[in-house]
Amino acid sequence: MPHVVLLGDSIFDNAAYVAGGPDVAWQLRERLPEGWRATLNAVDGAVTSGVERQLERLAQDASHLVVSVGGNDALRHAGLLDQAARSVAEALDRISDVREQFEQDYMRMLEGVLSRDLPTAICTIYEARFPDPQRRRIAASAPTIFNDVITRSVFSRGLPLIDLRLVCNEDADFANPIEPSVRGGAKIATAIAALVAEHDFARRRSEVFAG
């Protein structure tokens, strides 16, 4: 029996934000082909280093892994957006430091996941939906440095990608600025179900799922 395991953060572990509505894992179970299972190992608040502990709880019959992590790593550096800089070069230098550290952390996490030798899919980080238009505009630029790391890691290994920036593309997809609502969760679950059912993992060729 195929068994999908969700790893990462509150993009999957969003039950606390949907006011009693169905979370992503529940909605995924409703959309998977008959006979398939889904288990939630993702933990609200997790960063990339936390995936290692989630892998320790991996069921022996797991057949597919889906990872969505990195958003909380980005939030740790949110203060960078408010720091003054004497030049663009100085600002870019600070951003480069953050990118390099994230790249090291993400590569370590991904190698741990891939060491399980199971069909694996990866998600990008979506853009936060802050109510203030200026804050939203600035925040939309921040994930690009993290998503560059994620997409390069995915494509260099021939893995499939779920681009959450395109999946969750409306305000109604968010329960708050950074968590998926029931509607957003349904769209995420639909994308995962389509990927695991349709993607040919044996080809080791990247494919992007966006809805």
The pTM assigned to this predicted structure is: 0.91
Token pair 């679950």 in the structure block, residue: 189
* CATH number of the domain within which 37 lies: 3.40.50.1110
Torsion (CA) 197, 199, 200, 203 in degrees, nearest 10: -160
| Domain, as residue range, for 74 | 3-209
Specify the pLDDT at position 100. 80
Task: Count the domains in the chain.
Answer: 1
How large a percentage of the chain has pLDDT more than 70? 89
Listed as ranges, residues in the chain with pLDDT below 70 are 77-98
Specify the pLDDT at position 186. 98
Give yes or no for a contact between 77 and 102, defined as CB atoms under 8 angstroms apart. no
Mapped to the 3 state alphabet, what secondary structure does 43-64 carry? Answer: CCCCCHHHHHHHHHCCCCCCCE
CB-CB neighbours of 131 under 10 Å: 9
Q: What is the DSSP letter of 161?
A: E
